[in-house]
Chains A and B, each alone.
Chain A
Amino acid sequence: MKYLLAGAAVAGALAIAAPARAEITVCAWGTITGPDALVNGMTYGTRDYLEYLNQTKGGIAGNKIRVLMLDGRYKLDEELKIYRRCADQEQAVVINGWSTGASKALRDQIQEDGIPFISESFASEVLDPKKYPFTFIAGPTYEQQMIIALRDLAAKGGKKVVLMFSDNEYGRGPVDVVRKSGIIEKLGLEVVDLVEYRYDAQDITAQMLRVKGKNPDLVYVQGSTPQVLVALRDAAKVGLPAKLFVGNLYNISPAIPEQLGPAAEGFRAVQTYAFFGDDIPAMKEIQTYG
Chain B
Amino acid sequence: MRAGGGLSLLGAGVFGALVSMLIGLPALRLRGLYFAISTLAAQFILSYLFKILQPLTNGVSGLVVKPLSLFGRPVASDQEYAVICVALLFLSWAFIARVMQTNVGRAFLVVRESELVARGMGIDVSQTKLKAFLLSGFFAGLCGGLFAFTSRLANPEAFEIGLSVDQTAMIIVGGLGSLVGSIVGAAFVTLLPEAIERLGELLPSADLVSAFREMAFGILIVLFLLLEPRGLVALARRLGTRREGGSSATVRPGAGVLQSGVAVSAQNRREV
Tell me the bound Cα distance from A68 to B78 in angstroms. 21
B144 within 8 A of A: no
B84 within 8 A of A: no
**CB pair B62 A32 closer than 8 Å:** no
Q: Within residues 8 to 66 of chain B, which ones have a CB less than 8 A from any CB in chain A?
A: 51, 59-62, 64
A24 within 8 A of B: no
B152 within 8 A of A: yes
Q: Within residues 95 to 117 of chain B, which ones have a CB less than 8 A from any CB in chain A?
A: none
**CB pair A76 B152 closer than 8 Å:** no
A193 within 8 A of B: no
Closest to A81 in B: B151
Chain A at the B interface: SS class: helix
Indicate with 1 or 0, residue by residue over B152-178, a CB within 8 angstroms of chain A CB atoms: 110101100000000000000000000
Minimum CB–CB distance for A257 against chain B, Å = 24
User: For chain B, which range describes its interface: under 10, 10 to 19, 20 to 34, or 35 or more residues?
Assistant: 20 to 34
Q: Within residues 75 to 116 of chain A, which ones have a CB less than 8 A from any CB in chain B?
A: 75-77, 80-81, 84, 88, 101, 104-105, 108-109
Chain B at the A interface: SS class: helix
Q: Which of B60, B64, B207 has the most CB atoms of chain A within a 10 A radius of its CB? A: B60
A151 within 8 A of B: no
Q: Within residues 204 to 231 of chain A, which ones have a CB less than 8 A from any CB in chain B?
A: none
**CB pair B206 A169 closer than 8 Å:** no
Minimum CB–CB distance for A227 against chain B, Å = 15
Closest to A76 in B: B157
**Which of A33, A105, A168, A172 is within 8 Å of B153, CB to CB?**
A105
Tell me the bound Cα distance from A169 to B151 in angstroms. 17
**Chain B residues positioned under 8 Å from A81 (CB to CB):** 151
Partner-A contacts on B (CB < 8 A)? 51, 59-62, 64, 78, 151-153, 155, 157-158, 197, 201, 206-207, 210-211, 213-214
When A and B form their complex, which 6 residue pairs have the shortest distance between CB atoms, in order from nearest? Answer: A71-B210, A32-B210, A77-B158, A105-B153, A32-B207, A76-B157
- In addition to A32-B206, A76-B153, A77-B157, 6 A-B residue pairs with Cβ atoms within 8 Å of each other are A70-B197, A71-B207, A77-B158, A80-B151, A105-B152, A168-B157
